[in-house]
Chains A and B, each alone.
Chain A
Amino acid sequence: METTISKTTAERPTLAWLRQNRGTLAVLVVLLLLPFIIAIIDGQSISSVLANESGNSKFFQGLLIEIFILGLFALSYDLLLGITGLLSLGHAMFFAVGGYLTGILIKSFGWGLVPTIAAVTVAAIVQALLFAVVLPRVKGLTFALVTLGFASVFHIVVQSREAAPFTGADVGLQGVVIPAFLDPVDQRLRVYFIALLITMVVYFLYQRFVDSPTGRVCIAIRENEDRALMLGYNTFQYKVIVLLISSLTAAFAGMLHTIHQPIVSPNIAGLGYMVIALLIILIGGVGTLSGALIGAAVFRLLDFFIDRWFGEAATFLLGVIYVLLVLFVPFGIVGTWRQHSSQFTHQIEAIIERLRPKKENPE
């Protein structure tokens, strides 16, 4: 990787960028064409796809949108855990704040999309700062506990009877009227392209970030935070940046979720949803970014088919699969597939080392 620098910098930057990302770009093209391809295979006409007529194509668009949303959610979690080595157990809150806020503002206050986006941005920043406030005091597992605490409070409040007029309590937020041009039923193809676009842009931005000087420092923090401090990096600032980016991404994923599925269930604020993010990056490979997207696809399809074949028992089976993954496939698809899988193992070790509670040492 590092040795190719001099060569690539000689090329035109855009060309070099295209060359480096040709795999991803190919996937992007396939995904752009996919609604039509499915339609053709299925014997539907292209125009019916454009008119959002129901059929397999439309159905798979819905499924893919869900994959994109999960992918964004997992991506934001991977940035925290896989790249920076921060174990937060409150990530579901990052997502649910976006989801609920969008729904409440549109439904109860009749806000338009633009002010809603602005509000979600502010909320995402606020919650990231909330996490940042506790960050310097509590490390490793205690940080995980505190974040779990925050998320639990949020989950409790959202489900409480007092908040029912806004959140719908246990039943969830229902009847959110999405602006017509984003209607998930009538304008699914548009929503599909928007979600695809957002996902791809975020993914490229994330890659950019990890490759940037700031991102490299985050990796250094994962590898050896003390040393990074000693070099003169105020690691706290970097962790705050990562929290902000992660929170923003997750909140917007939550917003997309509300747009796509105008029912917001309190489940998305629960620990279970957080486990899904973990599961996805475990499937894909911790710390790989692309693993988050691949993992999201695998997870959603797995979920879909298990649900279709086993019905009631699906969640149970997913739990079993999760446990088996933890036990036997710790590095996920991308991690196992990558040539430098030994390098990958060591990255995981670095994260583990960060979280290992420090036993007292007299020296």
Chain B
Amino acid sequence: MLEVRDIHTYIGQFHVLEGVSLSVPKGSITALLGRNGAGKTTTLKTIMGITPPTQGEIVYDGQPIGGLPSFEIAQLGIGFVPEHRAIFRDLTVRENLRLAERNRGDFERKEDLIFNLFPDLKRLIRLRGTNLSGGQQQMLSVARALVPDNRLLLIDEPTEGLAPVIIEQLIEAIRQLSAETTVLLVEQNFLVAQTLAEYYVIVEEGQTVKHGMMADLAEDEETIHRYLGAA
């Protein structure tokens, strides 16, 4: 589905990605792991075309997308759920969802699906983004990526700073989603990543250092300890 080969990215003046390679098999959830500041978020942004790579290849569905403007990348069916719940705070929930439409009527078609996953949002539909709680904002952020027909979702730290109950809800939602969509997930909480993902990729200092099946990683205490520091 997605092949990333040896990408390098600069943010401002800093060389942040120094050779990240990964592949996301169709229909799977792949977790992108690594310590704080390792370059996970930048990897997602680079795939999305927000911080274009200076070198390396990104191939999505057999088509090279490196260097395309990010709206074209999105139009190919890639949805992005950024970290820090970056919803549009001046827009209502409905407007936030409407904005994500790629074709007229997308929202109506997906309405039921979205409100099934996140029943809360239906109730809040008229509220402005500012007035939502953190968890609700995060749900909106995920829901927004579901409005158009996306075949690949890039999700960045969905559980950060959220209460456990909400995290469970979100995990459940992502799990349901993965039936139809491929997911590349950045997650700090190893246990969340472990429960959700089939594959993993570990980045460190802007480079891919390890990848494989999640099941294998779960047993590899040393790797976990070494790269992720989780107990």
Contacts and interface: CB of A to CB of B under 8 A. Distances in A.
Q: A and B touching (C-beta < 8 Å)?
A: yes
B12 A353 contact: yes
A225 to B, nearest CB: 15
B26 interface: no
Interface residues of A, number: 7
Nearest to A345: B13
B84 A363 contact: yes
B211 interface: no
A346 B11 CA distance: 12
9 contacts: A346-B13, A349-B12, A349-B13, A353-B12, A360-B89, A361-B84, A362-B84, A362-B85, A363-B84
A333 B13 CA distance: 23
- Dominant SS among interface residues on chain B: loop
A346 B14 CA distance: 11
Nearest to A361: B84
B205 to A, nearest CB: 22
Given A353-B12, A363-B84, 5 more contacts: A346-B13, A349-B12, A349-B13, A360-B89, A362-B84
Contacts of B84: 361-363
Contacts of A353: 12
Contacts of A362: 84-85
> Of A346, A353, A361, A362, which is in contact with the most chain B CB atoms at under 10 Å from its CB?
A362
Interface string B67-99: 000000000000000001100010000000000
A297 to B, nearest CB: 32
Q: Which 4 A-B pairs have the closest CB atoms?
A: A362-B84, A346-B13, A363-B84, A349-B13
Interface in B1-53: 12-13
Q: How large is the interface on B (under 10, 10 to 19, 20 to 34, 35 or more residues)?
A: under 10
A353 B14 CA distance: 13
A360 B85 CA distance: 13
Contacts of B85: 362
Interface string B198-216: 0000000000000000000
Contacts of A361: 84
Contacts of A349: 12-13
A346 B15 CA distance: 13
Nearest to B85: A362
Interface string A334-363: 000000000000100100010000001111
B157 to A, nearest CB: 11
Contacts of A360: 89
A121 B84 CA distance: 52
B10 to A, nearest CB: 11
A363 B89 CA distance: 14
A346 to B, nearest CB: 5
A353 B12 CA distance: 9
A349 B84 CA distance: 26
B186 to A, nearest CB: 15
Contacts of B12: 349, 353
A361 B84 CA distance: 9
Interface in A97-130: none
Nearest to A360: B89
A363 B12 CA distance: 19
A355 B73 CA distance: 29
Interface in B135-149: none
B90 to A, nearest CB: 10
A346 B12 CA distance: 9
B168 to A, nearest CB: 23
